Structure 1
Amino acid sequence: MSKQAFEMMMLVLLMAAAMSPLRAAAEAEKKETVTNLHFYFHDILSGKNPTAVRVVEPVDTYKSTTLFGVVMMADDPLTETPDPNSKLVGRAQGLYTSACQQELGLLMSMSFSFTDGSSISILGKNSAMNPVREMPVVGGTGKFRLARGYALAHTHWLNPATGDAIVAYNVTVIQ
């Protein structure tokens, strides 16, 4: 290697080493963004146009008071207020399953897709009979890319005969 090539290589290495602390400092100064969302999830199992349908039902489900083993596929509207006719802010699309034998405990795997094109992903247990349930936000897209956080769900209204429900969601998204 020529002396000139060696000196050029050393110069490049020194510049890269000098820039590394600057890049690390810039990354450290980035502030996390916290977004708080509030909306209503309308899970309608009855009527001509249900928004959630049973896609799997084990043979022995009728014996289980918790519906253990049932799998539901959902495309539920998300609205600004509990009124189903209020402004649509997105859709909750995915599935939930009855995954507990001792309680009505749902495993939620849902993408909450908002009208602006962004989304958040929720994956976790929803103890449906608890007054407030906490589930993790495990990712997102668009303005919520690389999101993490948590969702608090509170049943606003429930029809025990049909299973139809309106659930208030308060979501804290960090990215």
Structure 2
Amino acid sequence: MAPKSIATLTKLPFLVLLVIFASSQAYDYQFIETNMTLYFQEYYAGPNATVNTLTGIPGNDWAFDSFGTTYVVDDPITQSLDKNSSEIARGQGIYMTSSLDGANMQVLISIVFTSNEYNGSTLEIQGRSLQAANVREVSVVGGTGIFKFARVIAKLETLNVDTSTFYALVQCNLTVLHY
């Protein structure tokens, strides 16, 4: 009796794969390409800070160029350069200085759309960001709502840093493929 049940179990993975393949053929999705430019309005200190130090290595300075320093972020995002323009999204997530020399950050950011036709949708950005580079590329690794199964690239460029007001303006050019 045992050999029959073993033979049945060896056929099970084949049947599962057959069902998965057959069901995937039923959908004929076409990717949509969306291009947009967004502006992260970032305040890295002061009473209205949108970036705050979460943790770091004890005994080391906790700074953007110090290995292990981790930040939590909740930046307003606008469609124009003007920091007083209407907010269309929030940039929420974590930055971590991830190289011993402090040159790289690991970026984990959700762009959470709060208005316009993308309201309620998200884009997930993840990757290594070379802090000293003029333009930093990170991956778009997913999304929700309108941006289901999103992927491709986000290019980040710091346009302005005002140390007197602790303000930074970061342009984000997105090319996104999604369903």
* Structure 1 residue 163 displacement after superposition: 5.6
Counterpart amino acid of residue 132 in structure 2: M
* Structure 1 residue 58 displacement after superposition: 1.6
Q: Distance in 2 between matches of 1:88 and 1:143?
A: 19
Report the counterpart of residue 109 of structure 1 in structure 2: 108
* Structure 1 residue 150 displacement after superposition: 0.6
More displaced stretch, 127-136 vs 61-70: 61-70
Counterpart amino acid of residue 81 in structure 1: S
Question: Over alpha carbons, which structure has the higher Rg?
Answer: 1
Ranges in structure 1 where 5+ consecutive residues have no aligned partner: 1-19
* Structure 1 residue 57 displacement after superposition: 2.2
User: Is residue 148 of structure 2 the alignment partner of residue 141 of structure 1?
Assistant: no
**Corresponding residue to 1:169 among 169, 172, 175:** 172
* Structure 1 residue 103 displacement after superposition: 3.9
* Alignment deviations for residues 59-107 of structure 1 (CA, whole Å, 9 cap, x no partner): 2322988211111001100011121111211000011111112243110
Kept in 2: contact 1:38–1:171 (CA 8 A) = yes
Over 3 Å counting, the alpha-carbon distance change for 1:36 and 1:151 in structure 2 is same
Report the counterpart of residue 56 of structure 1 in structure 2: 55
TM-score for both structures, normalised by structure 1: 0.79
Counterpart amino acid of residue 173 in structure 1: V
Kept in 2: contact 1:103–1:127 (CA 8 A) = no
Counterpart amino acid of residue 157 in structure 2: H
Kept in 1: contact 2:135–2:157 (CA 8 A) = yes
* Alignment deviations for residues 15-52 of structure 1 (CA, whole Å, 9 cap, x no partner): xxxxx6xx84862xx42100011110122112212111
SS across alignment from 1:136: strand
Report the counterpart of residue 122 of structure 1 in structure 2: 125
SS across alignment from 2:44: coil
SS across alignment from 1:62: coil
**Corresponding residue to 2:157 among 140, 144, 154:** 154
SS across alignment from 2:169: strand
